[in-house]
Structure 1
Amino acid sequence: MNLRFFRLFALLFLLSFLLSFSIGTLSPLLAAGQNPTYRYQVDLKKSENGKLFVELLVGTLTEEKVQFCLPAMVPGTYKVYDFGRFVSDFQALDAEGKPLTIEQLNPNTWEIAPAQKLHTIRYAVRETFSDAQSPVVFEPAGTSYDAENLFVMNTHAIFGYFKNREREPFEIEIKKPADFYGSTSLIAKTQEKERDVFEIQSYHDLVDAPMMYCRPDTVNFEIGGAQILVSVYSSKDKIKAKDIADGIYQTLLAQKRYLNDELPIRKYAFLLNFFSGNSKSGAYGALEHSYSSFYHLPEMPIEYILPSVIEIAAHEFFHILTPLNIHSEEIHYFDFANPKMSKHLWLYEGVTEYFAHHALLCGGLSELSDFLETMREKILSARQYKDTPFTVMSLGCLDKHEDEYGNVYDKGALIGLCLDLKLRILSEGKYGLINLMQDLSKRYGKENPFKDDELFDVITELTYPEIRTFFAKHVEDNQPLPFEELFAQIGISYQAEGETQNIFIGEISLAADVTTRKLFISEVNTEDEATKKIGWQADDVIETVNGQEASADTILEVFEKAKDGDVLKWEVKRKVKGKDKIVKIKTPISFNKQKVLHHFEPEDLTGKKLDLLRDWKRMGEYQQRYGK
């Protein structure tokens, strides 16, 4: 799982089947004749004032006392939220409906006696989206109960468990409005017009499967042997599943190829809630699960929000590697009441973040210059955090080092980058980080966790002695990552402080339409006189430059050949009184030199450096497999 905060960038991401279609996890259903310990019932039609009313019919218990719990924290959130604080009107009843003795031990735990007589538990649970009480729950981990439009149901915030019985089976019955569809990664045992029933093997599987109930807007497709569901709720109906499904498909296609055409899942669900207004947490993003991910994003024009969806989805989907198939005992035997952290956030979040960007580079969905600029931004962003050894930060990310958690997406990704380069260099291009991850997946897998203190030695055993030194210096200690040394060997110059020459054609921002691949002007600084004089307008679609069809490649080629004083001639398509019109624009060229921190500059390459660069970008491998 992954909880991810992010900044939205302007650049860069139907029910196709019958309503009876559902997309499911690979987790096993109940064995024949096995009775669930928990039989939950929730009626969405009876929600009121931002509350759901939950009823639990209990299987046979033998203890004198039993503790019923909601989680203090769940895997992937890396923050204690105390979900029990949203529960009220808690009742424990015997078979005749008489109340049993209840003692609330803490915000998340109710002790019930005598447990042998316990038949029914009832309680109300309020939504988190509208709650401003600290700590405010990040919305992708929370709940929203809007009876007219949408139910966001992160199951850990609704359903509880009996202490020491987390791995016993559940049955969940959801009663729903007839025109609502439940999108989830769970397989429905029963799916009727106004009722869904799910059987789940354990609480760990339940909290790993969010649900979204609303009027259906879905797209389903198959890729790499995996069935994919894209389900969208748009508060003002501005964004449709079909608007973003192609971008997600192209991203998954690149990731499938990155994983050697083998996806270690059979089914996956993308659940996307696009909202208007503000969120209580002040943040937007996604929460990752083993077979699904839930997104809480602002409702914006599709050309602005799609690139962010693609970027986030690329990260979230890669969690099918880790922690799904590679994780420590702290995650496998997760303690929902008193969570213990692993020291390997560099692996769970950092490597995942690196793969998300590297896969797009290798798949041709981003250029080397874009990738290097992203890494440069991560180097700059990592400087805002303390220089704490990464294993130490990981272990203390819930308390002492809580403010440093965001560095998992910056320095964590840079650790993944350097480790990949190191492996490629040591193996002369034959073995990289993705190969290591696949070997670790085979060694461990979903049901076999590693010991936290042994992982570095296991990786060294699978690779090279130099890799153990790398971990000791740069992950267990805080020595600077060796960018200059590693990049030099693939023909890319790195300078902590360098100089670049900028070309000026006006203060504008370019974006790309993911579907048409056309470049357009996303922003224009109309306060700048030189820009104003040129005549750019927001939403201009660039058709040609100097008579050539405009693309990222042709524009870069024109820029590379341009000299100071040259004039570039553009043709743009612009809406004028509702009709498309071709407008001609001229931009006189001027250059200025600027000092930049953490500057990357590719060289003109031949020989071994070129071979290593091609191997790192997996160019030869992709050409052999896909003919391009």
Structure 2
Amino acid sequence: MNHLNNHKTFGLFLALLLFAVSPSQGQTPKQQWQYTVTPQPEKKGVHVQLRLSGETEKSILFKLPVWTPGYYQLMDFAKNVSNFKATDGNGKMLEWKQNANAWTVDHSSNSGVTLDYDVKTDRNFVGGNFIDQDHMFLSPAGIFLHGSTIKQPVTVTINPYTGWTKLASGMDYLKSDTTTYTAPDFDILYDSPILMGKLETLPGFKIKGIPHNFIGYDMGNFDRIRFMGDLKKIIESGIAVIGDIPYKHYTFLSIGAGGGGIEHLNSTAVTFKGSGLETSRGRLKVYNFLAHEYFHHYNVKRIRPIELGPFDYDKENPTELLWVSEGFSVYYEYLMVHRAGLSTPEELIDHLRDNLMAYENKPGHLYQSVTQSSFQTWTYGPSVKKEDADKTISYYDKGPILGLMLDMKIRQETNNKKSLDDVMRTLYKQYYKKLRRGFTSQEFRTVCEQVAGTDLNEFFSYATTTTAPNYIKYFAYAGLDIDVKSTKFEIKRVLKPTPLQQKIYVSIFGASK
């Protein structure tokens, strides 16, 4: 995220240079979409104006997404829109009609169209929109209407608000106007949340010359130098998995209190309070959470199931592979923190055992496979209804256990020469870098089997069915003994590990301190 010393109203601004290239680069766009957002804390909302110029149809369709990428639930953003008004370039009122998340505006001239509307912003959540007297967080999918094509360049100007001196977003800003951001298309716009207000910027750092920053609201008291030093180690361990940094700048956007975290191409929106760092257990929880959201810029945003982009913003985008996208990211959050030297082998094992118990000690594991859990998340959501709780599972619980088992299996079959890291690197290079698309379930399995050098039918049956995993067999690859007869699933090292068991254990868990 770039830093700019600005003595105007906004003071310090942060902006991120996006990796994406507009499909219309080098061409003159037929339309110009220019948005202006005016914060209105006193009304618990924002006023939005769109000035559309250039070639237009007589009947123009505008749409608001029904969900936001990274949060796999339908969200009725349209219900928050009010006071919708459309005028032509001469100020004449235009007729319009609304149907669900779409507005159709009748336009008989070529004089341009201006839309004005208000958006209620009262959901303090990383996938929602919120404003109070001290700050504003905008999830663009719930704010900005798109037209008949997503591949349309757009600019967004944020009007100043008294006392708010900082602004942050994933978009690049115009060099001539640091209150105006640009996006090459709506996919990038919707992937670039906006944070503004009385914010604090923590001491940033660079990795291979690339700036990494943390900006947030109401973060509390904690050792900022130590925190950012530890965060650098965590990010470095994540980068080491893939061996490539695909962005020009990266930032953590902390919205203060609220809920959750959502990943983006070169940023992540998170809830963060420094008080969580006061105990060793709390510190690990915070570090794991931030590592998870960071690793998503690889695993989801770039290493992704084929269903997760390009998106259909009008309906659900289900996939059976969230146990990989989310579950493996849980596994890697633990590995990143551990490889950064910030957790012990015992703590790493305890984290994984917690996931295993959460999965095994609920009756849902007898009814729902992890691929079904993934595909049906649009129905059940992150907060499962009480009447469905006993027949569902979470891919956040089973996913990391399958990640561990696959890692140990690959190491076993290759004499510890290959690992799950090789799978992730292959997916990144083959599908993101080379083919520039997501992968299918079969393609994912093929890569895993190629890296392992063997058939993985048994392993994948644990994902696609409710077959009980053979924990004893897989954990033994790393010289671990697991008590499957107890609800606590105690995990201990075997007394006399073989040389291969010892190598696999040390490669994953490291030597005990």
Give the alignment's TM-score, normalised by structure 2.
Answer: 0.86
State how far apart, in whole Å, the 2-side matches of 1:618 and 1:300 are: 29
Deviates more, 1:55-64 or 1:296-305: 296-305
Tell me which residue corresponds to 1:290.
Answer: 265
State how far apart, in whole Å, the 2-side matches of 1:328 and 1:314 are: 21
Find 1:169's aligned residue among 138, 153, 157: 153
Task: Confirm or deny: 8 A CA contact 1:16 1:220 kept in the other structure.
Answer: no
SS in 1 for 2:97: strand
Task: Confirm or deny: 8 A CA contact 1:354 1:414 kept in the other structure.
Answer: yes
Residue 347 to residue 385, structure 1, CA distance change in 2 (3 Å): farther
Tell me which residue corresponds to 2:211.
Answer: 227
Task: Confirm or deny: 8 A CA contact 1:347 1:412 kept in the other structure.
Answer: yes
Match status 1:495 vs 2:483 = yes
Find 1:271's aligned residue among 222, 241, 253: 253
Residue 128 to residue 336, structure 1, CA distance change in 2 (3 Å): farther
Deviation string 1:461-487 (CA, Å, 9 cap, x unpaired) is 633464540354111112122221011
| Identical counterparts, % of pairs | 20
- Count residues in correspondence: 486
Deviates more, 1:69-78 or 1:321-330: 321-330
Task: Confirm or deny: 8 A CA contact 2:13 2:167 kept in the other structure.
Answer: no
Find 2:473's aligned residue among 473, 480, 485: 485
State how far apart, in whole Å, the 2-side matches of 1:101 and 1:398 are: 35
Tell me which residue corresponds to 2:491.
Answer: 600
State how far apart, in whole Å, the 1-side matches of 2:276 and 2:336 are: 26
Match status 1:386 vs 2:364 = yes
SS in 1 for 2:358: helix
Opposite residue 399 of structure 1, the aligned amino acid is T
State how far apart, in whole Å, the 1-side matches of 2:168 and 2:194 are: 6
Residue 20 to residue 212, structure 1, CA distance change in 2 (3 Å): closer
Shift of 1:185: 2.3
Deviation string 1:25-77 (CA, Å, 9 cap, x unpaired) is 21236734534541101133x55311111000113344332321111112211
Match status 1:59 vs 2:53 = yes
Deviation string 1:306-363 (CA, Å, 9 cap, x unpaired) is 4433121110111122212222332112111112211110111011110110222333
Shift of 1:450: 3.3
Q: Greater Rg, structure 1 or structure 2?
A: 1
Find 1:366's aligned residue among 309, 331, 343: 343
Task: Confirm or deny: 8 A CA contact 2:168 2:196 kept in the other structure.
Answer: yes
Match status 1:612 vs 2:504 = yes
State how far apart, in whole Å, the 2-side matches of 1:213 and 1:259 are: 32
Tell me which residue corresponds to 1:548.
Answer: none
Match status 1:395 vs 2:368 = no
State how far apart, in whole Å, the 2-side matches of 1:54 and 1:316 are: 30
State how far apart, in whole Å, the 1-side matches of 2:439 and 2:53 are: 35
Match status 1:159 vs 2:136 = no
Task: Confirm or deny: 8 A CA contact 1:23 1:227 kept in the other structure.
Answer: no
Find 1:418's aligned residue among 395, 405, 413: 405
Task: Confirm or deny: 8 A CA contact 2:326 2:399 kept in the other structure.
Answer: yes
Match status 1:143 vs 2:129 = yes
State how far apart, in whole Å, the 2-side matches of 1:256 and 1:329 are: 23
Give the alignment's TM-score, normalised by structure 1.
Answer: 0.71
Tell me which residue corresponds to 1:26.
Answer: 19
Match status 1:196 vs 2:191 = no
Shift of 1:433: 0.7
Shift of 1:204: 0.8
Opposite residue 462 of structure 1, the aligned amino acid is Q
SS in 1 for 2:377: coil
Find 1:327's aligned residue among 304, 308, 330: 304
Moved over 6 A (4+): none
SS in 2 for 1:497: coil
State how far apart, in whole Å, the 2-side matches of 1:400 and 1:21 are: 37
Opposite residue 268 of structure 1, the aligned amino acid is Y
Task: Confirm or deny: 8 A CA contact 1:415 1:481 kept in the other structure.
Answer: no
SS in 1 for 2:61: strand
Tell me which residue corresponds to 2:33.
Answer: 38
Match status 1:473 vs 2:450 = no
Match status 1:183 vs 2:152 = no
Deviation string 1:175-202 (CA, Å, 9 cap, x unpaired) is 224751111222211465xx51111011
Unaligned runs of 5+ residues in structure 2 are 6-11
Find 2:119's aligned residue among 122, 125, 133: 125
State how far apart, in whole Å, the 2-side matches of 1:618 and 1:602 are: 13
Deviation string 1:576-615 (CA, Å, 9 cap, x unpaired) is xxxxxxxxxxxxxxxxxxxx62110013435222122233
Residue 181 to residue 239, structure 1, CA distance change in 2 (3 Å): farther
Match status 1:248 vs 2:226 = no
Find 1:74's aligned residue among 68, 77, 101: 68
